[in-house]
Amino acid sequence: MSERYALVLAGGSGSRLWPLQHKPLLALIGEKSLFEQTIERLNGVVARENILVVTDEELVPHLHELAPDLRYVCEPSPRDTAAAVGLGLLEIARRDPDALVAVLSSDHFIADAYKLRAALRTGYDWAERGAIALLGALPTFPATGYGYIVHGESVTMGENVDCVEAFIEKPSATTARQLLEAGRCSWDAGIFVASAQVLLDEYARQQPQMLACLRDVDASRWQQITPISLDYAIMEGARNRVVIRLDTAWSDVGNWGALVDVLPKDGDGNTLSPNVIAIHTRGVFVCSDKPTAVIGLEDIIVVETAEGLLICHRDQAQAVRQIAKLLVKTD
């Protein structure tokens, strides 16, 4: 039986959660950072010496402080997830050409770690057979910021595994509603399991120029890589895909609205820092170290840090990343 590995992605600027930075390092849900929670979920599934973290140079010392026994690979600069995953796969394949690899992000929310472990074990079983096993989360609303997996016929009895009929990355609002109404779909949880060789074969077939740069990577060759997500570059056109239902609440915590959805709330639907007072206020999220009062507000997000102050309506949470870009231009 092939050995199990995990490839954890821990890069990105985290601009969608401005004014906070370095999302994997943040303790947004519970006392531990999102990165630490991700690594803990792998307990009993993957040996720690078989966990590889792909990140950037700025984050390495911080991540190493949290998990000094893990192995780290640095991207020369951000080139999106296809390049990051490819870089990690080559590192693992050099160590073990027969490796089975689970790829997952370091900054997601997963309510039940036990159910994730069960799904990952099923994924490794299918990876042993040569499949790419995607984990799909139950969609609860017509999200346009997630990828969707359209389920085909069931391939097993009682194992919650289906063929993948289609992979639709970030659909329009109309398409997202149609997918939910039709049923037989799930959100792409950004977690999948396959053999390193199967995945590298997909890179060779679909992204040969990128793979050539990754095999002989230096600063110059890395800059030649066109930034593209793994979903667009590989997953939409990949062969022999199956989807495993992840039977627990999941979120990529991709913006303030998504974070608020998974946090505990008071009787008025508010999530407030300990030093915040709220009067006649509903559905409000306030994160501030300063004494703060909010009165007569509804569905508003307020985040105050040393880096800046954010005030926005929950419906506009997706637009926060534009603010971060505008602030860079004005510096």
- 100-105/71-75 β-pairing: unpaired
Q: Any idea of the CA torsion for 289, 293, 294, 295, to the nearest 10 degrees?
A: 170
Output the pTM of the full model. 0.93
Three-state DSSP class for 186?
A: strand
- The answer to whether 164 touches 244, Cβ cutoff 8 Å, is no
Q: Give every CB contact of residue 96 below 8 A, 6+ residues apart in sequence.
A: 3, 5, 196
Phi/psi of residue 81, nearest 5 degrees: -75, -30
Per-residue pLDDT of the chain (331 residues; tens, 9 = 90+): 799 999 999 987 678 899 998 999 999 998 999 999 999 999 999 999 999 999 999 999 999 999 999 999 999 999 999 999 999 999 999 999 999 999 999 999 999 999 999 999 999 999 999 999 999 999 999 988 889 999 999 887 567 899 999 989 889 999 999 999 998 899 999 999 999 999 999 999 999 999 999 998 887 899 999 999 999 999 999 999 999 999 999 999 989 999 999 999 999 999 999 999 999 999 999 999 999 999 999 999 999 999 899 999 999 998 998 887 788 666 5
DSSP codes of every residue in 250-261: EE---SHHHHHH
- The answer to whether 33 touches 128, Cβ cutoff 8 Å, is no
Q: How far apart are CA 86 and CA 110, in angstroms?
A: 25
Q: Give every CB contact of residue 157 below 8 A, 6+ residues apart in sequence.
A: none
Q: How far apart are CA 84 and CA 9, in angstroms?
A: 7
Task: Please report the pLDDT score of residue 265 as a whole number.
Answer: 95
Q: Please give the CATH architecture assigned to the domain spanning 4-254.
A: Alpha-Beta Complex (3.90)
Q: How far apart are CA 120 and CA 104, in angstroms?
A: 10
Q: How far apart are CA 167 and CA 149, in angstroms?
A: 5
**Helix/strand/coil percent split, the chain, to 5:** 35, 30, 35
Q: How far apart are CA 275 and CA 318, in angstroms?
A: 27
Q: Any idea of the CA torsion for 210, 212, 217, 219, to the nearest 10 degrees?
A: -60
Q: How far apart are CA 101 and CA 103, in angstroms?
A: 6
Task: Please report the pLDDT score of residue 158 as a whole number.
Answer: 61
Hey, where are the domains in the chain? 4-254, 257-330
